[in-house]
Every structure is written in structure tokens, then in C-alpha cells.
Amino acid sequence: MISAKLPKIFYGGDYNPEQWPEAVWAEDVKLMREAGVNLVSVGIFSWARLQPNERTYDWGWFDRVLDLLAANGILACVATATASPPAWMSTKYPDVLAVDAEGKPYYPGARQHYSPCSPTYRRLAAALVTRMAKRYAKHPALAAWHINNEYGCHMSECHGEASTRAWRGWLKNRYGTLEALNAAWGTAFWSQHYYSWEEILTPRRAPYHPNPTQQVDFKRFMSDAFLELCTMERDILRAATPEVPITTNFMGFFKPLDHWRWAREIDFTAWDSYPDPATGHAAEAAAACGHDLTRSLKKERPFVLMEQVTSQVNWRPTNLLKRPGVMRLWSLQAVARGADGVMFFQWRASQGGAEKFHGAMVPHGGTAESRVWREVKALGADLARLEPVVGSRIQARVAITVDWNAWWGVELDSRPGRINYAATVAEFHRYFFERNIAVDFVHPGADLGDYDLVVAPALYLLAKNDAVNLEKFVARGGVLFTTYFSGVADENDRIVLGGYPGYLRRVLGLWVEEWSPMMEGETNRVRFAKTTAKDGVKGPTRVATCSHWCEVVHLEGARALATFAEDFFAGGPALTANAFGQGAAYYLATKLDAPELARVLDGVCARAKVGPVMASVPKDVEVSLRERDGARFLFLMNHGAKAARVRLAGVGAGAGAKFAGVDLLTGERVGRAVTVAALGVRVIEVGT
């Protein structure tokens, strides 16, 4: 459970009362009650209203908002308001402005223009948060703290003076000596040797590729610099209210922040999910991927879907709305995948400002005739019925590795070809999503004891310890599946010499001599040998198309399950399996299209003995199981346009398992099979 004060599924949204006359607030709380709203995030962009100048704070209106909420039984996730500093601040102290790689400042007038390293920003943010924490520590409405907002969202790099100073400090801390830095960065190349710390700059506009290790380190540093802001606020809040849980809202696969380092500093994770309705079924796959990531970042506690939209956003070139039923379906999907909170941006649609065309729980036209409002109210009622689910968890036996260092490294300039890291990870996630196999994300260095299968796509940059961790996982009986261009460089982006994939060479039983990316539209073919279940990939001889990347692989104990059929690569291994210790390690030296990859992964899952909860689920029906102290909650979500009939029977190790029980949403008792309406959801408390 996230908060003992609110043992329910959180339901509400960003509430920005400062945009409205106080007369509207009374209507707001009345409508919140009508919709079943139990929590709102307040104050996210209120800094300018809370502090008119450096010496004056204006808490009166905020007191009245919180009092009104409390009087109406609505709790608050109180935001620290530090995401958008007031204009007076940069007028008085221009050093708060962030500076881009060309040396140009970001000016106020939008939001998030502050430099994370500005001592002035830090001082004023700390002063605001200290007062806020003290003032509201005992307020009955306070249920959680929301630090800042989407750190790094619009501005994730600062090259100003304060940032450059802080960067040098960070480097001193990492390397200790200039010798060590010079060695790690490979500054013998292109006459880049540094003789004093003052010579070192952030990677700014340069005539050609800046030093790659400097670039990766700068990403690490910036992630840490923003994190320092977050922990600074957290420490202030925690000192005032040790029992109140603290979060900040993430954005799923967001490249600038190393989320593994971030998640351990907060009490519960939250994210903002805006899948594009224009992308069809890819939208729900993308949302599922973000939910699984946010849940995995802090496995021990449910997460909160902190923001989504009721209808349409305003920031894509074309902003399709969610058709009737989609908002409910996608909200319950978040719960199905581990969320204990479903919130929106925002409560009431703005009349002015840059987001007035962004959907909200209360639309411009009011509530009476509004489809959106009807759906908002119905969702509130549905979530109230799901109270028994609170605190339950998803038990995955499969994990996909995600490492921000690998992401930063693989996508730098000066690589052999383009690899889109997040898209590659998402492709693998999609397989498990479509097969309804529960999947977590993990750091490659994490404890892998919970898993039977670990998929490690494009782990280009891999620290030795993490490679050893993966090797141990296999030695103890795990199944590892990794892909081309993995293990190539160490944590300093230096090649691990002696044959790729470096420290993974032993566990994979092969080495890679060279590679070539393929041009857009170019393909090769892969010939699969006839295999049996024993080989892990069962099937007749077949030929499949591959693209994107080809490698020259030499076997050192591994067996080729498929070989390239064309070009200079012909005859060389394309897919290999290596028995290692008690387990097995697979290597895919190219990119297969989705159906072919699925066939391969089916075999790998069979080898690892992992599978879905239930057999023969109709297409477009998503299945998820949450469990707590023997209680089990089966979620069936129909993303298709037609009603689907689902047989409630277990599969694999769970064969014979029955899922009869009561549908918490309808109270209906269901037995052997159940119909899930188009865009419908069933949440069956199994065994009741």
C-alpha cells in the first residue's frame, strides 16, 4: 500500500486552482466528490503565486485550497512547486537560467528554464520547500508529496557556468585524478589530453564528435545533478514528515534520467502515460511497456499512473481523442499491470495558457452533457470497486534488461550504425505483452534470483560486474537471450579488447569478429536448421528474412541454430545457443521481423519453462494477474472491436488452474468462460 491514509486506488488529477477564481473551487470539490475523486495533486506550477518576490510568501490561498479539500474528504498529493520558477527570480538572478550546448540561455515564459546546478535556484527552491513542509506537515489533507514535475522533460542539459563547475566536481569525484580521467576518456586520441581540471568543459558545440566517454559521463552527471535537486527536496520533506510517502513523476522510457538511480531515492514510483491513439494497438503495447518499467523500478511497492489524458493531448501535430471506452480501458490496464493510482492531467480544462486544448476531467463545456464527464464518473465508481486489489503484486519470471548507460552509449554519434535502444527494448517487450507473459525490467547488475529468463537486448555498454552477474545467472540455471552489438564496450565506453562481445564471450560460447549495419530496406536471409524442443527452438528447416544488422560470429562451444544465407555472411551463425553451467545463453546476431522473432522466443520461453497465465486467449485480449496473500486478481482486457469469449483455464505449470470467481466490477460470479465486451474489462477475484 502506498499510503495508510488512503488504502484505496488513488483517483484524481493535477488540480490547478490558481487558474480559477475561488468561487469555482466550491464547484470543483462538489464535482470531485461526484466523480469519486479521492486525491488531487496540488501546487505543481504554483511557485509564482506562492512567492510573489524573494521576501514574501503567500500561503493564504493554498491554505484555503487544502482546507477545502480536507473538509470534503479529498486528500492531496502536495507538490513542491519547483518545476517552474517565477519570472522575478531570473530577472533578479540571471544565473538561474539554464544554458544550451551553444551557450544560449533558456528564458522564462514557458516552464522548466532553470539550471539544475544554479546555487540560487537550489537556495530558493530549498527555502520554498522548507516553508511548505513545515506549514503543511500536519495538514489533514496531506497524503503524499510530489517533488517538482517531470525532471528534465523539456530541458535536460545545462552548460552554464555553475553546471560546468559542478561537472568538474563530479568528475573529480568519479576519477580522483586527471590521469585516471585521461585514461578513461582515451584523451590520447585527437590531442585531447587535459593538464588541469579547469580545461575540462561540458560537451559543447564542437566541429566534430566530442569525446564519447565525455558525452556518456555528461549524461550521467546531468542525471545526477537533477537527482541532487530531488534528494535535496526529499530530505527537507522527510525531515518534516517522515511518514508521508514521497514521489516524483517519471515519463517511462525517458533517456536523460538513469531511473534505476532515481527510483531508490523515492518512496513510490509514478509516471505520466500518453500513448498516441493514432497508433492503434501499438498504443496499448507502449503503455504496457511504461507501466511495466515504472512497476519494476520499485518492485516492492505499487506505482501510480500520475498523469494521463481523458480525451486528447495538445502537443502532437495531430491530437486524436480517445474514443468512448478507451480511457476506462487504458486506466484499468494500468491497474492490471500494478498501479494503485489512476490520475489525470488535469482536473479542470484551462481557459488560458498553452494547454487549454488539453483534455481534462472537467471539460470547457461543463459536466451536464459531457461524454468525458460521464466516463470520469463511471471510472471513479469502477476504481472504488477495485479496492481489494490494493497492494497486490505481479510475479514475473521473465525480465528484460534496461541500462541507461547502454542506452546513452549505443545511441552516440560515431557508432557503426543506428540502434534505437528504447525501440529495441520495446520490440522484445511487445512479444511478452502479446503472449500475455508477465515481464519485469531489470538492471543487468540486479539480483536475478526471481527470474528464469532474462532478455538483454543491445547491451552495448556493459560493466564487467554486470556481465559477470549475467554469467552467474546462467551458470545457476537461468536462460539468457542477448542480441547483436552487446558487451562491446566497458562502462567507460572503451572497447573490451580480444573479441566482441567482451565479457559475455564465455557465457555465449562465441566471439564476434566484425559486423555491418544494413541500409534501410536492405535484407539478408536466415536459414533455421530443423530443431527439436531440446534445442530450445522447435521447428522445421525454414528461411526467414532479417535486416538492420549482420555479424561474423565464430563459435567457441555454442551451436548455430540458424545461419545467414546470403552475401559475405552466408553460412555464418545468425542465432546460437550455448549450454553453460546449469543454464543456456542465446545470441541473435541480426534483427528478425516480429513474427519470426516471436517464433524464436517461443522456443526460448519453452526452454526456460515460462509462459502465460492462461492458454488460448483470443487476439487483442490482454491478461494480467495480481496477487496478494493468497488472493488473486485476474484482469482481462479486450482491446479489440468485438466481444471476446475467454476460457478461464490455466496453462503450462499452471495447467488445471481454474480462474472462477467474482467479477469485482459487476459482482457477477463467473465460471469456466467469460465474455469480455469490446473495449471491456473483467477483474475476477479468483476463488471467491
Which of these ranges, 29-37, 90-98, 149-157, 578-586, lies near ligand GAL under the rule CB under 6 A?
Answer: 149-157
CB of 149 to ligand GAL, least distance (A): 5
**Cβ 392 vs Cβ 627: under 8 Å:** yes
- Is 151 within 8 Å of 108 (Cβ atoms)? no
The dihedral formed by the CA atoms of 551, 555, 556 and 557, expressed in degrees to the nearest 10: 130
Q: Is 271 in the site for ligand GAL (CB under 6 A)?
A: no
- The β-bridge relationship of strands 661-663 and 681-686 is antiparallel
Quick one: which H or E segment has residue 625? strand 621-628
Query: Which one, 312 or 545, has the nearer CB to ligand GAL?
Result: 312
Q: How far apart are CA 647 and CA 63, in angstroms?
A: 53
Nearer to ligand GAL, 95 or 355 (CB): 355
148 part of the interface to ligand GAL, by CB under 6 A: no
149 is a site residue for ligand GAL (CB under 6 A): yes
Nearest to 80 by CA among 111, 107, 51, 46: 46
CB of 12 to ligand GAL, least distance (A): 14
Number of residues that bind ligand GAL (CB under 6 A): 10
Tell me the β-bridge partners of 632.
627, 686
307 is catalytic: yes
Nearer Cβ to ligand GAL (149/214): 149
Residues 6+ apart with CB under 8 A from 134: 240
In the numeric block, the cell 538572478 is attached to 93
Could you give the CA distance from residue 390 to residue 367 in angstroms, rounded to a whole number? 29
Asked whether position 150 contacts ligand GAL by CB under 6 A, the answer is: yes
Residue 547 and residue 560: Cα distance in Å, rounded? 18
Binding to ligand GAL, residues 36-55 (CB under 6 A): none
Tell me the window of 64-72, 145-153, 192-200, 617-625 that interacts with ligand GAL (CB under 6 A). 145-153
Cβ atoms within 10 Å, residue 182 = 16
Q: Is 375 in the site for ligand GAL (CB under 6 A)?
A: no
Told to check if 272 binds ligand GAL by CB under 6 A, we report yes
Shortest Å distance, C-beta 272 to ligand GAL: 5
Q: Which stretch binds ligand GAL (CB under 6 A): 148-156, 277-285, 512-520, 521-529?
A: 148-156
**Of the two residues 85 and 212, which places its CB atom closer to ligand GAL in the complex?**
85
287 lies in the binding site for ligand GAL (CB under 6 A):
no
List, in sequence order, every residue forming a beta bridge with 564; answer none if it has no partner.
Answer: 526
**Residue 136 vs 274, nearer CB to ligand GAL:** 274
Rank residues 193 and 316 by Cβ distance to ligand GAL and give the closer one: 316
Residue 313 interacting with ligand GAL (CB under 6 A) = yes
> 48 or 665, CB closer to ligand GAL?
48
Stretch that binds ligand GAL, among 147-155, 238-246, 258-266, 662-670 (CB under 6 A): 147-155
Q: Which residue is catalytic, options 157, 307, 471, 622?
A: 307
Give how far Cα 649 sits from Cα of 623, 667, 670, Å.
12, 20, 12
Classify the phi-psi angles of 214: left when phi > 0, otherwise alpha if psi is within -120 to 50, otherwise beta: alpha
Interface pick for ligand GAL out of 271, 345, 407, 503 (rule CB under 6 A):
345
Residue 307 within binding range of ligand GAL, rule CB under 6 A: yes
- Least Å from the CB of residue 249 to ligand GAL: 6
Which residue, chain included where needed, has cell 505520466? 272
Least distance (Å) from ligand GAL to the CB of residue 320? 14
Pairing of strands 453-456, 479-483: parallel
Residue nearest ligand GAL (C-beta atom): 345
Locate 149 and state its grid cell: 514535475
Q: Which is nearer to ligand GAL, 150 or 233 (CB)?
A: 150
Question: What are φ and ψ of residue 414, in 5° steps?
Answer: 65, 25
Is 387 catalytic? The answer is no
Rounded least distance, CB 104 to ligand GAL, Å: 23
Task: From the candidates 150, 491, 551, 596, give the one annotated as an active-site residue.
Answer: 150
Pick the stretch among 146-154, 171-179, 373-381, 480-488 that binds ligand GAL (CB under 6 A).
146-154
Q: Between 421-435 and 594-608, two packed helices, what is the crossing angle to 10 degrees? A: 60
Q: Which is nearer to ligand GAL, 355 or 411 (CB)?
A: 355
Provide, rounded to whole angstroms, the least separation between the CB of residue 54 and ligand GAL.
25
Question: Nearest 5°: phi and psi at 500?
Answer: -70, 160
Read out DSSP for 451-514? -SEEEETT--B--HHHHHHHHHHHHTT-EEEEESS-S-B-TTS-B-SSSBTGGGHHHHTEEEEE
156 scored as a contact of ligand GAL (CB under 6 A): no
3-state secondary structure of 680: coil
Residues facing 562 on adjacent strands: 528, 575
Q: Are 327 and 317 in contact (CB under 8 A)?
A: no
In terms of C-beta density within 10 A (0-12 exposed, 13-18 middle, 19 or more buried), how is residue 262 classed?
A: buried
Angle at 595 between CA 590 and CA 599, to 5 degrees: 80
What b-and-e string marks burial along 292-319, b requiring 16 or more CB atoms within 10 Å of the CB? bbbbbbbbebbbbbbbbbbbbbeeeeeb
Query: How far apart are alpha carbons 624 and 287 in whole angstroms?
Result: 14
Compute the least distance from the CB of residue 154 to ligand GAL, in Å: 9
Taking the complex as a whole, how short is the minimal distance between the CB of residue 357 and ligand GAL, in angstroms? Answer: 10
Measure the CA–CA gap between 408 and 422, rounded to whole angstroms.
11
* Residue 358 found at the interface with ligand GAL (CB under 6 A): yes
Residue 45 Cβ vs ligand GAL, minimum distance, rounded to whole Å: 7
* Least distance (Å) between residue 421 CB and ligand GAL: 21
Determine how many CB atoms are found less than 10 A away from the CB of residue 420.
13
Q: Which residues pair with 53 in a beta bridge?
A: 56
Which one, 213 or 294, has the nearer CB to ligand GAL?
A: 294
**Does residue 113 belong to the site contacting ligand GAL (CB under 6 A)?**
no
Q: Which is nearer to ligand GAL, 274 or 587 (CB)?
A: 274
Under rule CB under 6 A, residue 330 binds ligand GAL = no
- Residues engaged in binding ligand GAL (CB under 6 A): 149-150, 153, 272, 274, 307, 313, 345, 355, 358
Which residues are annotated as catalytic? 150, 307
